[in-house]
Amino acid sequence: MILSDRRIREEIERGRIVIRPFRKECLGSNSYDVHLGPYLATYSEGALDARRDNPVDEFRIPPGGFLLLPGQLYLGVTAEYTETHAFVPFLEGKSSVGRLGIDIHSTAGKGDVGFCNYWTLEMSVKLPVRIYAGMPIGQLIYFEVSGEVENPYDRRSSAKYRTVSAHPARSRMFRNFPPRRRPGRR
C-alpha cells in the first residue's frame, strides 16, 4: 500500500520518515517532490570495469545550468537528505522531467528500510537538456512493509552506501567481488 500525504506527515512527526529540508508545498497527494542537488559527476574513463573503483570527475552545477548530452551517464544527487525507518521508499522521475527526456535512474529506484542518506541519481537524456541545481527532479513514494524487518539497511555490514554524503556516490559494485590474487601467490 502507498502512503497518502496525511500518512507521510504523520510518519514524519513520528520520526519513521525523515526529509530534510521538508517543505509542505512539496508534499503531493501520495508522494514528496525532491530536487536536484548542486553536484554532478561523470566517470573519468570511457570504459568502466565492474571489478574496479572507477574514478569520477565531480563538479558543481553552474548558476546558468549545465547541458546534459545523450550518450553520457551523469551521477546527480538529491538536495534532500532522507531516512526511512519503517517503509520502502521508491524514487521516480517527475512527469515533467520525463517529458524533457531525462531519466533519473537506470535501475536503482527502490530504497531499503533503513536507508539514511541523499539519493544518488543515475541520469541520462534522449536529447540535450539544460538542468539547474534546485529544480524538481523526482518524487518519493513510500510503501508499507508486510512483516517485521530483521536487517534494515543502516545496520547491515554489507551495505555499500551508508556513508552520508551530499555528493553523488559512484558505483561500489567492486565490493561484491572477492579480492583478486596476484599471479604466483597462494
How far, in Å, CA of 125 to CA of 123, rounded? 7
Q: Where are the alpha helices (DSSP H) in the chain?
A: 5-14, 95-98
112 neighbors 58 (Cβ within 8 angstroms): no
**Local structure of 98: helix, strand or coil:** helix
Sign for the pseudo-dihedral over CA of 180, 58, 69, 79: positive
120 neighbors 77 (Cβ within 8 angstroms): yes
How far apart are the two ends of the chain, measured CA to CA in Å?
52
Residues in the chain: 186
Residue 27 DSSP code: B
- β partners of residue 74: 123
Just list the catalytic residues. Answer: 122
Q: How many CA atoms lie within 13 A of 50 on its CB side?
A: 4
